Amino acid sequence: MKKIPLSILTGICLASMAQAGEDYSAKAAPAVAPAPCLWSWFAGGSGGYVDDWDEDMWTLHLGKEYKCPDKGSSHAIFLEVGYTDKDWSGDYYYDLGSGPIPPDYQTSDVRKFARNARFEYSMEVIPITLNYKYERPLWRSLNWYVGGGLGIAITEIDVELGNLKESDDETAFYGQLFAGLVWNLSDAFEIFGGARWIYMDSGLDDVNGMDIPGVLDDDIFYELGGRFNF
172-224 pLDDT, tens digit each? 999 999 999 999 999 999 999 999 999 998 656 555 555 565 578 889 999 99
101 HSE (CA, 13 A, CB side): 14
Q: Which helix (H) or strand (E) holds 62?
A: strand 55-67
pTM, entire model: 0.75
49-83 pLDDT, tens digit each? 999 889 999 999 999 999 998 888 999 999 999 99
Q: How far apart, in whole angstroms, are the C-alpha atoms of residue 224 and residue 45?
A: 9
Select from 39, 45, 38 the least CA-distant residue to 189. Answer: 45
100-152 pLDDT, tens digit each? 555 555 555 554 445 566 778 899 999 999 999 999 999 999 999 999 999 99
Distances (CA, A) of 166 to 128, 163, 190: 25, 10, 44
Q: How far apart, in whole angstroms, are the C-alpha atoms of residue 180 and residue 20?
A: 58
Select from 168, 150, 180 the least CA-distant residue to 46. Answer: 180
The more confident residue out of 120 and 29 is: 120
Domains of the chain: 37-229 (2.40.160.20)
Main-chain phi, psi angles of 10, to 5 degrees: -60, -40
Mean of pLDDT values over 83-99: 71
Q: How far apart, in whole angstroms, are the C-alpha atoms of residue 178 and residue 209?
A: 34
Select from 196, 50, 61 the least CA-distant residue to 123. Answer: 50
